[in-house]
Amino acid sequence: QAPETRGASSICGGGPSVPMRLDLYGWAMAPGKATEHCPGGMAEVERKRGGFTFRSPSSCRVEVAVTKSRKVSDAAGRSVNVASALPLWHEASSSGQRRQPAKVYPFELDPFQTMATEYIERDESVLVSAHTSAGKTVVAEYAIAKSFREAQRVIYTSPIKALSNQKFRDLQEEFGDVGLMTGDITINPLAKCLVMTTEILRSMLYRGSELMREVKWVIYDEIHYMRDRDRGVIWEESIILLPHTICYVFLSATIPNALQFAEWIAKIHRQPCHVVSTDYRPTPLAHYMFSAGGSGLHLVVDERGRFRESSFHRALAVLREQSPSQMTGDLARGDARSASYTKWSAIQTERKRARAQTNVKPRHDDLRSVLQHVTANELLPCIVFAFSKVTCERNANSITDVDYTDAMEKDLVRVIYNAAVRSLAAEDRTLPQVRSLVHLLERGIGIHHGGLLPIVKEVVEILFQEGLIKVLFATETFAIGINMPAKSVVFTECCKFDGAGFRCLTAGEYIQMSGRAGRRGKDKMGTVIQMLDHQVDTKAAQQMLHGEADPLNSSYQVTFNMLLNLLRVEGAEPEYLILSSFHQHQRESRIRGLLTDADHFGMKSAAISVRGDIEQVHSLATRLEATRASLRSIFIRQPTCLAQWLQPGRVVLLRLPDLHKLSRLCGDDWTPHTFGLGFSHLSWAVILAVSDKRICMRTERGPASTSVSDVTVTVFTFGKCVRQPKATLQTPNPMSVPLASIYELSALRLSLGDLINSRNLASLQLRWFHIGCRFDLTTVSHTWSHYASRRERDLPPEHGAASRRSLERLPLLDAHNDLDTIPDTRFASFEARAYALASQLHQACQSALTDLGERELIQAAQKCALKEYLRHEALARREMAAHAGLLVSKDELRRMIRVLKSLGHISPANGAIALKGRAACEVNSANELISAELLFGGAFIELEVQEIAALLTPLVFTDQRKHAQGRSHLRPKLLRAHQIVMDAATSVAEAMIQSHIPLNRTDFLSGFSSSMMEPVFHWAQGAPFAQILKLTAAYEGTVIRVIRHLDELLTQLASACFVIGNYELQKMFESTSRRIKRDIVFAASLYV
C-alpha cells in the first residue's frame, strides 16, 4: 500500500506538508479510545485537543536502571564491553524457540558483532561503538535482513549525501529492494529498505508521513556526528520525534560516554538500549612520527597500543630550531604583533598554538621522503590526509615525476575513467578538472576533496577500491562512513580549521582518520605516519597520538524551524523537544555528581577549626584585597593612568594563582578560576610587549581608546626566589597575562636591547639577581606575608616610620604622585577605605602575634582561607545543581517566540501559527525567516526565471573566503536583487536584536554573499558550465553544491506557495528549478 498519495516528493519532504499526526509519535491516541498509562504505574495527564487525547510528556518521566559494564572475551583474545540501560519495568525476554538467523555470514563474527546481533534478534535497540573499519556494517546489515525476514520497513540514515549514494549501491547489491531519498535524488521510495540523509528523516517526521507506521528499525550511521556544532541538532530532533515502537541501531566510532547516550534513548523512548563497545582492532596499528628535516621514522605507539615516550621525545629533538631573530620579531620594540612569540609562552592557549602552526606547511621534500619510505617498505596503498583543498592539491602536484602503476593498470584506469565521463556532454568532458585529473590517475595518484566534480570524485573512489590508486591525497571527509581502508595513512598537518579558528586535531579525529590504515584480512598491521614541523606543541601532539576518544556531547540548540513545526500542531508543546534533548539529559545527569561534590566540600570545610581572631584577620585581608582590586580596576580601565608606564622593560608585580598549593591542599577538588587570597602568589616580572599599542598612544584629543579587557601583556617572570646562586639560575619562558594581573607598577625599568632572545633573557635573569641583592623583594613573595608585614604604602603616615626594614625596598609608582590624575570620583573613597582596612589589619595582626609567630599566623590564615574556599565551592556546586535541573534554553525559547510574533509568523493574541509561519515551515534548506520575508514582501514579483535563481543564491552560499567577489561585479538588476535580500535579512536581524537574542549584526549580514549570483544567473540562462567557472574562483564542486542546494530551496518555496495558495508563483519556482536542473550539475551518480 502506498503510504502517500502525493507521490515521491511528498514522502521525502519535497511536497507540501500535511498536519503532523500526534499518534505517530506516541503523543496521542485515536479518538474515542481510553488513555493508556505509562509503564510503572505513572498516570498520564489528559488534555483534549481536536478530538485527540494529548499526553503531556512532562507528566510521564521514565526511570532507567543502568547495568555495570561487563567484559567478554573469546579464545582469540578479542574482548567486548557490554552494558545496558533498562526501564525499571523491563523484563528480559524469554529465549523461547530460536529462529533461523536473519543473515548468515561466510566468516566468523567478532564478539561485538555476535552480541549486537543477539540484541537485534530480541527487538532491542543497540549502540555499537568500535574503531573505524572494525566491521560495524555487519550489525546494520543484520538489522536490515531481520526486517526483510519479518516484512517490516527499515530506514538507514547517513550524515552526507555522498555516503547515502554509496550505501544505496552496497545495500541494493545485497538486498535488492532498497530505495534512496536525498535532497537530490529519490529512487524507489516505497522500498522495504530506505537509505536517506538525516535531514530527510527529520523532514518526514515533521510532516507526519504515514510511512513511519510501517517502520520497525532505524539505523543511524556515524551517530557521533551528533556532536557537530551546526548539524548535530538534526540528529537529536529526529531521534526524539521517532515513535516509541521503533527500534534503533546506532553505529559510532569509539566514544567514552556511550552508556550515557543509551540511558537517554531508554529514557525518552521507554525501551531498553544496550551498548556493545570494543577497543579491539582486527588489524593493529603502529604509529610513527616524522620530524621536519629528519631522515627517519620514530615509533611512538606500537601495535599493542603502548606509548613510547623516549622515542616521542627523540622525534621532537630532531625538529629544526628557528633562529632567535625569527622567533622574537619586533617584541623588544613593543610591537603589538606578539603572536610570533607564542612558542615561548608557557600558558598560551590552544588556539594560538594552532594559529602559529598554520603558518608552516610541510616541506615537499619531507613529503617525498615519507612516500619513498612508504613505497620501499611496501606500504601502498597509502592515504595522505591534509585539511584544506589547496594543500591537498599542492601535495599531489609535488610528486608529478613519480609513477606507481604499470602499463596494464594505466589502460584499466583509462577504460574506467572514460566510461564514467561518457555520460557527460561533450563540452563538459573538456573541463580542466576532467582533463587534468586523468593524468594523475594513470600514475596511481588520486585527489579526493569537496571541490571536485561529484562524478570525478566517485571515479576516484571506485579506482581506489579497485586498487588502481596507490597514493590518495584526501581531506577529512574521506574518513567518514564508507569503508575504504589502505595499508598506511600519512598526516601532513597537525591542525585544522573548524569554522571558528585553527586548532590541533583532537584524539577522536585522529583515531577516526588513522583507522583507515590496515585492511582486514589483507594486512597484518596498519601503519600511521604523523609529519611534525618545528612549531608542534608537545602536549597537544602527545594527547593527539595517545589520547582518549572525544565524548559524545550534545550540540542541541533551539531553531526557528523546529519551533514553527511544533507550533502548527495543536496541543504540542515546544518544551517537550527541549526537555527530551540529549543536552538536557546531560545537564540533569550532572546533578547527582554536583550534589555529592557539594557534600564533600561541606564536610571538609566543617572539619577545619579556626580561631576567632584569625577569622577576623582573614576577613580584613579579604576586604582589603577587594578594595585594592577596585582601585586597580579604576586605573587599569583608564589608559591615561598607564599610558606612559607600560613600556618594554618596566618591572611589575603580578598576582597569579598558586595552582600547586591548591592541588596539594585540596587534591583534585579545586578549580583554577576560584582561588582564595591564600592560594595566590606575587611574582616580579618585566614587560616585553603589550598586545594593543593604542593603550600607550596619545592623540591631540587625549589618549587613544581601546578595550583593555582584551589587552594582554607579554612578560618575563623572575619568580619568587631571587637569592639563588648563579650556577642554579634557570631561564623560564616568557608568558602572556591579562592586564588585570598587574598588581603593582615599579619605578624600575630595565634595558632590553634591540632583540629578545635566549641569551638576552638569561642576561636579564642575572641582572635581576644583582637587583635582589640591593632591594628587599621577599616581603611580597607571598600574599599573606605581605599582609602580616607592615607595608608602608598601605598604612597611614603615622605608621610609616615603624615599618622600615634594614634592606631598601624596590620603589613602586604612587597613584597620586606618579600616575596621571584619575578623574574617577570613587578613587578617593576607595583609597581612604584601603588605608582604614590596612590599619585595622595591622592591629589585628599585632594582636594575633602576641601568642603566635609570624609564620604560624600566616599558616593559620591560610587554613582559614582554605575553609572559606571549600565553603564557597560547596555553595557553588549546589547552585550549579539547581541550575542544571532547569529547562535548558527556556529563556531563549521565549525570545524566539517574540521574534516570530513581531515578524507575523504567529498570532500575538492567541499564539496560533499564521499563514506566514505555515509557509516558513516548508523551508529547511535556507533561513526560513528571510525566505518568508522575501515571499510575503513581493520580492519575486515581475522577476524573470534567471533573476529569481540569482536572488535566492545568497541564501544558499555563505562562503566569505578570498574567492568571494564584491557587489561591484554585479549587473544593476542583480545589485537590486541582492539589496532586496539584504533588506529582508536586516529586518530579521532587527527583530532578533530587539527580542534580546544575542546576534552580531555585521557577521549575520555578511553571511549572505553575492559572489555566486552572477554565475547562477548565467547558468539559469543556459550558459555552459565551463563559462560560469570563468566568473568565479570557487572550485567546481563548490559551484555544483550551490546550484543543487538552490534547487532544494526552489522546491521548498514552491511547496510554500502551494500552502498559501499562490499557484502562479509556485509555477515560477518550479520553472526556475527545471531551468537550472541540467547537464553536469545534475549528472547521475555512478553509484545509482
- 437 Cβ contact list (under 8 Å, min separation 6): 447, 452, 456, 460
* Residue in this structure with the C-alpha cell 564508507, named with its chain if needed: 482
Q: In 914-1035, where does DSSP find H-type helix?
A: 915-921, 928-936, 945-956, 972-994, 1001-1006, 1013-1021, 1025-1029
Give the angle subtended at the CA of 211 by the CAs of 208 and 215, to the nearest 5°: 115
How far apart CA 1020 and CA 949 sit, in angstroms, is 7
Task: For residues 840 and 848, give the distance between their C-alpha atoms in angstroms, rounded to a whole number.
Answer: 12
Q: Does the pLDDT at position 341 exceed 60?
A: no
Nearest Cα neighbor of 746 from 782, 771, 721, 720 is 771
Query: Cα angle vertex 787, ends 786, 792, to 5°?
Result: 80
pLDDT for 460 beyond 90: yes
DSSP state of 1023: -
| Residue 381: cis peptide before it, omega within 30 degrees of 0 | yes
Average pLDDT on 765-784 reads 61
Q: What percent of the chain stands above pLDDT 70? A: 74
d(C-alpha 382, C-alpha 1073), whole Å: 41
User: C-alpha grid cell for residue 950?
Assistant: 540569482
Residue type, 80: V
Containing 736, the helix (H) or strand (E) segment is: strand 735-738
In this structure, is the dihedral angle defined by the CA atoms of residues 797, 799, 801 and 804, taken in order, positive or negative?
negative
Mean pLDDT (whole number) for 607-628: 77
Instruction: State the chain's mean pLDDT as an integer.
Output: 76
Mean pLDDT check: name the lowest of 11-25, 131-145, 600-614.
Answer: 11-25
Task: Give the mean model confidence (pLDDT) for residues 599-620.
Answer: 79
Amino acid at 514: S
CA atoms within 13 A on the CB side of 832: 4
**Residue 788 banded pLDDT, cuts 50, 70, 90:** very low
CA separation for the pair 266, 642 (Å, rounded):
60
- What's the CA gap between 747 and 745, in Å, rounded? 7
Q: Where do the DSSP E strands lie in 319-369?
A: none
Residue reference for cell 542544571:
884
Contact 987, 1081 (CB under 8 A): no
Instruction: Name the band, by pLDDT with cuts 50, 70 and 90, for residue 648.
Output: confident
How far does the chain reach from its first CA to its final CA, in angstroms? 25
pLDDT greater at residue 717 or residue 218 = 218
Burial class (CB in 10 A: 0-12, 13-18, 19+), 20: buried
Which of 292-296, 330-334, 816-820, 857-861 is predicted with the least confidence, judged by mean pLDDT? 330-334
The mean pLDDT of 1037-1052, rounded to a whole number, is 93
Selected residue with higher pLDDT from 991 and 184: 991
Classify 526 in phi/psi space as left (phi over 0), alpha (psi -120 to 50) or beta. beta
pLDDT at 551 over 90: no
Cα–Cα distance measured from residue 832 to residue 811, given in angstroms and rounded to the nearest whole number: 22
pLDDT digits 0-9 by tens, 374-406: 999 999 999 999 988 888 989 998 887 889 999
Alpha carbon distance 716, 950 (integer Å): 56
pLDDT computed for residue 649 by the predictor = 81
Distances (CA, A) of 17 to 170, 235, 924: 31, 20, 12
Q: Counting Cβ atoms within 10 Å, is residue 91 exposed (0-12), middle (13-18) or buried (19+)?
A: exposed
Give tens-digit pLDDT for 823-839: 556 777 777 888 788 88
d(CA 908, CA 901): 6
Given a contact cutoff of 8 angstroms between Cβ atoms, the answer to whether 580 and 268 are in contact is: yes
In this prediction, residue 352 carries a pLDDT of 39
CA 59 – CA 49 distance, rounded (Å): 17
User: Nearest-5° angle of CA 13, CA 17, CA 20?
Assistant: 105
Q: Count of CB atoms within 10 A of residue 760's CB?
A: 18
- Other beta carbons within 10 angstroms of residue 33's beta carbon come to 10
Within 8 A by CB and 6+ apart from 313, the residues are none
Q: Which residue has the cell 593603550?
A: 695
Q: How far apart are CA 967 and CA 980, in angstroms?
A: 13
Q: What is the 3-state secondary structure (H, E, C) of 325-361?
A: HHHHCCHHHCCCCCHHHHHHCCCCCHHHHHHHHCCCC
In degrees and rounded to multiples of 5, residue 930 shows phi and psi of: -70, -40
User: Is the pLDDT assigned to residue 354 strictly greater than 90?
Assistant: no
Position 941 scores a pLDDT of 87
- Among 40-44, 103-107, 829-833, the range scoring the smallest mean pLDDT is 40-44
Which one-letter DSSP state was computed for residue 486? B
Higher pLDDT, 496 or 218: 218
Residues near 841 by Cβ (< 8 Å), separated by ≥ 6?
Answer: 617, 620, 621, 624, 787
Contact call for residues 829 and 789 (beta carbons, < 8 A): no
Q: Taking the CB of residue 1073, how many other CB atoms lie within 10 A of it? A: 20
Does the pLDDT of residue 342 top 60, yes or no? no
What is the pTM for the complete model shown?
0.74
The per-residue pLDDT for range 962-975, each reduced to its tens digit, is 444 455 577 888 99
Backbone angles phi, psi at 467, to 5 degrees: 80, 15
CA atoms of 209 and 207, how far apart (whole Å): 6
Band the pLDDT of 24: cuts 50, 70, 90: very low
803 pLDDT more than 90: no
Residue 327: pLDDT band (50, 70, 90) is: very low
Query: Whole-angstrom Cα distance, residue 471 to residue 322?
Result: 32
Cell of 482: 564508507
Cβ neighbours for 797, distance < 8 A, ≥ 6 positions apart: none
Res 203 pLDDT > 60: yes
* Range in 462-471, 846-855, 1022-1031 the model is least confident about: 846-855
H-helix or E-strand spanning residue 136:
none
- Range scoring the smallest mean pLDDT among 541-545, 710-714, 1074-1078: 710-714
Better-predicted residue by pLDDT, 55 or 966 = 966
Mean pLDDT of 1052-1069: 94
Q: What is the pLDDT of residue 65?
A: 81
Helix-, strand-, coil-residue percentages of the chain, each rounded to 5 = 50, 15, 40
Lowest mean pLDDT among 187-191, 195-199, 659-663, 754-758: 659-663
Nearest to 897 by CA among 636, 677, 578: 578
Residues 621-637: pLDDT tens digits? 778 777 877 776 666 55
771 CA to centre of own chain: 48
What pLDDT sits at residue 1046?
Answer: 94
